[in-house]
Amino acid sequence: MRAPIAVFDSGVGGLTVVGALRRELPAEAIVYLGDTARVPYGGKSQKTIERYSEEIASMMVSEGAKMVVVACNTASALALAHLRDVLPVPVEGVIDPGVRAAIAATKSGHVAVIGTKATVGSGAYERGLRAACPDIRVTSIACPLLVPLIEEGMFEDEVTDAVLRRYLSPLRETDADTIVLGCTHYPLVAEAIGKALGYELALVDSAANCASAVARRLASEGLLAGDGEGSLDLGFTDPPDRFLGVAGRALGLATAPAAIRAVPPLGS
């Protein structure tokens, strides 16, 4: 089926999911919308995040999307169930695939989760992990400064390194052997996360695991595009800053200027 996969995020962090989807499903058309006018979602209420998410997803479905991918951990935690209730197409988020991958990776039975305040505060990863494995131990750490640093393109920077050491220091006193990158921005600083920890943990990339889940869902629903060359169109509700170019190069996302469009503001 040649209709596009719709991917949205509160900003540009969801481009990590787009990169993973392009690698997993090279024949698919992908349309991405970053709500850069209203970023970040991390400090907003569940009701507001549900409204924002429905506005975006409904618009993309009205334009012909065959599936919606919520490439935002905050929106996946707080709005996914609502979207599945109101949309007529399959909807995939980033949390459930991350949970499954973490359960498969851990040997000690102790998993760490890092994310925004909203994602960590929602308890979505803890609920998912404990539903899958009741005996699992979970340490959750909110990292509110990380997204702004990543949005500034500070992937390899002493400030980012210092912030990560501060946030991740509690893990040094635990036997956690797996860490879930509970924000789609975080894969861009995966190397810095490993350096800050100072020892090896299995890193669970929610973007890569989400892409695998999308591929399985499309196959089960008979919605795969089949052969051919895919495409990528990017839209933003406010002109993105230089991070778009930095992230695009890091993720290997080459798009022509004509494939990047401005989307009228969707409300406040």
Taking the chain (268 residues) in runs of 10, the rounded mean pLDDT of each run is: 91 88 95 88 89 97 98 93 98 96 96 92 95 97 91 88 96 94 90 88 91 96 91 86 64 61 73
Is the domain of 224 the same as that of 254?
Answer: yes
> Does residue 186 sit in the same domain as residue 230?
no
Instruction: Determine the pLDDT at residue 231.
Output: 92
Q: Which among 72, 133, 143, 210 is annotated as catalytic? A: 72
Do 216 and 191 sit in the same domain of this protein? no
Helix/strand/coil percent split, the chain, to 5: 50, 20, 35
Q: How far apart, in whole angstroms, are the C-alpha atoms of residue 91 and residue 60?
A: 12
Q: What pLDDT is attached to residue 212?
A: 95
Annotated active-site residue 210? The verdict is: no
Looking at the structure, do residues 168 and 184 belong to the same domain, yes or no? yes
**Of the residues 133, 143, 183, 210, which is catalytic?**
183
Residue 261, strand partner residues: 235
CATH of the domain at 53: 3.40.50.1860
pLDDT, residue 229, reads 87
User: Into how many domains does the chain fold?
Assistant: 2
C-beta of residue 17 within 8 angstroms of C-beta of residue 81: no
Same domain for 200 and 99: yes
Computed from CA positions of residues 37, 41, 45, 51, in that sequence, does the dihedral angle turn out positive or negative? positive
Model pLDDT, residue 173: 86
Q: Is 183 a catalytic site residue?
A: yes
